[in-house]
Amino acid sequence: MLIYRGVNKVLDASTGGLIAPKGSRDELEIECGDINAAFGNETLAFGSSSGNARYLHSVCSDDYKTSYVSFTTKENVARSFSTSKNLEPGWVYVTDTDLLSAAGIGILDNSVGVDNEAEAEVLVNLIGHQHLPEELILKKYSIDPDN
């Protein structure tokens, strides 16, 4: 299955044109007082867990730095992210879940327990990688606002 990642050109330049995770761990421990951690749901757990990391990454990957990188199954969603909702130019990356799996890279459908189901988010776990290997990127194309 094809999946897409949209990033604005400023973010893309800051990573050297590579898809890089913001952190190196695929598990997080929730801390007391965290406003994004409402216990009592079936997603979050006490202690360190990959479920916590996936959930909190989807809430805000800038605050919760993990080895996960967000992709989507919907090209139009990636296009919207790439242009910051049609405000600036960006890039869309395309890869394939079969290709990622064959390379030993984990892929997780993150639709359970998140508020942004319309984004059709798929998490790619780059644990142990500085960036997504370039040979796994099928296509990268530029998007300008209003296109």
Best-predicted range by mean pLDDT (18-32, 35-49, 52-66): 18-32
pLDDT, tens digit, 9 for 90 and up, residues 48-95 = 888 888 888 787 788 888 999 999 999 999 999 999 888 899 999 999
CATH of the domain at 96: 3.90.210.10
| Band (4; pLDDT cuts 50, 70, 90) | very high
Q: How far apart are CA 45 and CA 101, in angstroms?
A: 27
Q: Which residues contact 83 (CB under 8 A, 6 or more apart)?
A: 6, 8, 89, 90, 143, 144, 145
- Structural domain including 37 reads 2-143
- Paired tokens of 66: 């993990």
Q: How many domains does the chain have?
A: 1
- Paired tokens of 92: 């869309």
